[in-house]
Amino acid sequence: MSVGTGARAGAGTSTRAGTGGPVEPRPAGAAHRAAGPHDPAPLPRLLGRLLAAGRRPPEEGSTTAHELAVRRRLLLALSAVLTLSLFLSYEGVHGDANPLRTSSAPAVLAIDTALYALEAAQADATGTPPSISEFQTQISVAAQSVSVAAADDVGGPAARQAVQTVAGLISGYGGMVQKAQPEPPGSVLREAYLSYATSILKSEDSGIEARLRALRSEQLAAVKRQTSFGPLLWLGWSVVALLVLALGAALVETQLFLRRRFRRKYNRQLIAAGALLATGFVALLLFTVWTHQGMADTRALLDGAPPGPDIPRAGRDAASYLAHTGFRAAASVWIVIGGVLLMALAETGLRQHINDYRFRPR
């Protein structure tokens, strides 16, 4: 074999050390692909494969259609997830505002009114001289307040049964006091009637006042649950804030991409989507802050157990704290409408460019 032949053979193959066998030549691009630092990061590459439709175009071809498809799917996905998260988080706060305004808070104030009226009735019945007309007025106020508490759906079947029992005991208490009035002052029968009436009212375990206070504690526990802003709500609104920032950044990046690639200064649909996102989120956030603040103020008012003469004023204050909560709760429907509109704006903003590349002749 000549030297030239050996040189040409050595140029085509190499010998593995220790074996003498030939090693297949590596393509020129393999060494370039093996270089790790030049590869794209795995997470963006995976995200692009999940969001993009079809196969990625070859490296030497145009990637505009692929990048448009990636951005379109990213905007639609973020809009859908944001709509769902915002709806659930918004309902988590505003869903309890209407029951608090129409049921829980009025029931607590009605129980307070009944307790105050019964205290005044007891003072009228045992006073010297007793005031029967005032006693009957206070008993009527107490019975009416208990009826209001029952009408406000104070709780489950056990609570409703407790309200009915209290109403019956109030009737029995009033009957005992009325039986005592015709008897002469200081008589044994009069004292017996009044003593039995007092035990019906103030017995520690089964008296009217004890039952009403237990019922009030149950209602305050319901108020606490309704006005609580717990960890799940904090997590939900934190996720919503992050999604708003992510969607806003995606809209800005897409606008810059279109401006750079197509020399279009503005995309009206994307700008409208950004304006809708910003104004909608700020409005819903303010609604939530106002509603939660009103609910917290109502809870503090009810926890303070306003004195008897101040109960009507406390009712007016609670009504003012919870005013307009029904209107703000109805805004949850607009979250869904706004989410659909946001997705429609993102779709129409990119659809023209995607169609241009889809039907471009080769």
Work out the burial of residue 114: count CB atoms within 10 Å of its CB; fewer than 13 is exposed, 13-18 middle, 19 or more buried: buried
The whole-angstrom separation of Cα 209 and Cα 119 is 9
Q: How far is it, in rounded angstroms, from Cα 65 to Cα 357?
A: 6
Model confidence pLDDT, tens digit, residues 294-337: 999 999 999 888 888 889 999 999 999 999 998 999 999 999 99
Spatial distance between the Cα atoms of 202 and 179, rounded to a whole number of angstroms:
19
Helices then strands, counting H and E runs in the chain, come out as 15, 2
The pLDDT-based confidence of 155 (bands split at 50, 70, 90) is low
Q: Are 203 and 210 in contact (CB under 8 A)?
A: yes
Q: Are 125 and 201 spatial neighbours (Cβ–Cβ below 8 Å)? A: no
Write down the pLDDT at residue 51: 47
d(CA 75, CA 362): 29
Please name the residues in contact with 148: beta carbons below 8 A apart, sequence gap of 6 or more: 106, 107, 110
The predicted pLDDT at position 139 comes to 92
Are the C-beta atoms of residues 142 and 119 closer than 8 Å to each other?
no
For residue 288, pLDDT beyond 90: yes
- Between 149 and 5, name the one with better pLDDT: 149
The tokens describing 226, both together, are: 């309704």
Q: Are 325 and 102 in contact (CB under 8 A)?
A: no
Q: Which of 266, 270, 237, 225 is nearest to 71 (CA)?
A: 270
Residue 307 gets the label, from left (phi > 0), alpha (psi -120 to 50) or beta, of beta
Q: Which pLDDT does position 287 carry in this prediction?
A: 96
Cα–Cα distance measured from residue 61 to residue 57, given in angstroms and rounded to the nearest whole number: 6
Least confident span in 30-34, 102-106, 212-216, 277-281: 30-34
pLDDT given at position 358: 57
pTM of this structure = 0.74
* Residues 84-119 pLDDT 10s: 999 999 999 999 998 899 888 998 999 999 999 999
CA angle 119, 122, 309 (to 5 degrees): 30
